[in-house]
Amino acid sequence: MSSRVLLWHGDSSPLWRAVALLLRPLYLGIAFPAILYVAAMTVFLFRPPDLFSFYADRIGFVILAFFVALRATALGERIPFIAGLSFPMLGLMGLAVFRALREPFDAQLWSIIASKYIVPFALFHIAILVFRGEPQRKTFAVFVFLVLAYLTFIAIAFFADARSLIFPRFILDESLGFHPDRARGPFLQAVANGVSLNILGILVLALPRKHKIVARLLWLALPIAVLATMTRAVWISFAVSSMVLGFLLIKRRLQAACALLTVAGLLAVLTLFLSNQALKTALGGAHRRTRPRRSAPGCL
């Protein structure tokens, strides 16, 4: 029986080989959903704002949702639903969709609703299905570390006026997006870049302990990257989250040192504020929002 099976594989026709070759991507997408999820997030992050790659993020999202749904169907997995998180997200999404139904032919409005409510809702529940095992979580941890290191590096490079080190180059195009005079990253907006730095900084502290050395090194450079965003709301959120995390995660004998470092950081920011006109403009009420001459297409 086994010899016949081996002989059948050895004498398989070119038709079966072509079918197997066509089904190979289907197998890879089902077998490695974590890599597919990380690849889709990478497309979201680095998609250039031009017409040639305008639909790249949409295609990536559809491919990710298709393979995850196919895998869940094959394995008999149930769609995750966390009442404390899913219900509020559903409520916001329902209100947004109800608002969009008043202008059902406004493509820009539907794009904004998809990027703010529908896609995050779907990605959140897809992530619960994908990152269940330890290997998948390791893949996610590597992705978080790499993205945080990248965003921190380009923010510091922008702050130090090392424009040649910033990649991709469309970040430096002042005709795209908002806040061209700030560290805005590939999001083309300083607020989005600062929020991403803050959230990723919190995530690296929640990763396994063997990554704590890398997390501490990133946190040493993270305040400079946040400062480079030149955004008051980002500074306040980062300061509050740093204090809360310091008192929750650090041992009691180091809490006093954490408080002193926080005060020292606030004093340093105040000193820079008084000596730097750009920071003074960012904090003051006379700040004028830079309006682009050509808006970048929104993600999803």
Residue 105 lies in a domain: no
Count helices and strands in the chain by DSSP H and E runs: 13, 0
- Tell me the CB-side half-sphere exposure of residue 158, using CA atoms within 13 A: 31
SS3 229: coil
Per-residue pLDDT for 244 more than 80?
no
Residue 226 lies in a domain: yes
Phi then psi for 178, rounded to 5 degrees?
Answer: -125, 165
Closest among 134, 128, 135, 36 to 77, alpha carbons compared: 128
The reported pLDDT for the residue numbered 262 is: 62
Residue 122 lies in a domain: no
Per-residue pLDDT for 119 more than 80?
yes
Residue 215 lies in a domain: yes
How many structural domains does the chain have? Answer: 1
Residue 110 lies in a domain: no
Q: Which long-range contacts (CB under 8 A, 24 or more apart) does 259-268 make?
A: 265/223, 265/239, 266/239
Residue 290 lies in a domain: no
Structural domain that includes position 222:
133-241
- Our measurement of the distance from residue 294's CA atom to the centroid of its chain's CA atoms, rounded to an integer in Å, reads 24
The reported pLDDT for the residue numbered 122 is: 93
Is the preceding peptide bond at 80 cis, omega within 30 degrees of 0?
A: no
Convert the pLDDT of each residue in 149-165 to its tens digit.
Answer: 999 999 999 999 888 88
Residue 61 lies in a domain: no
Closest among 176, 177, 185 to 154, alpha carbons compared: 185
Contact 262, 242 (CB under 8 A): yes
Residue 212 lies in a domain: yes
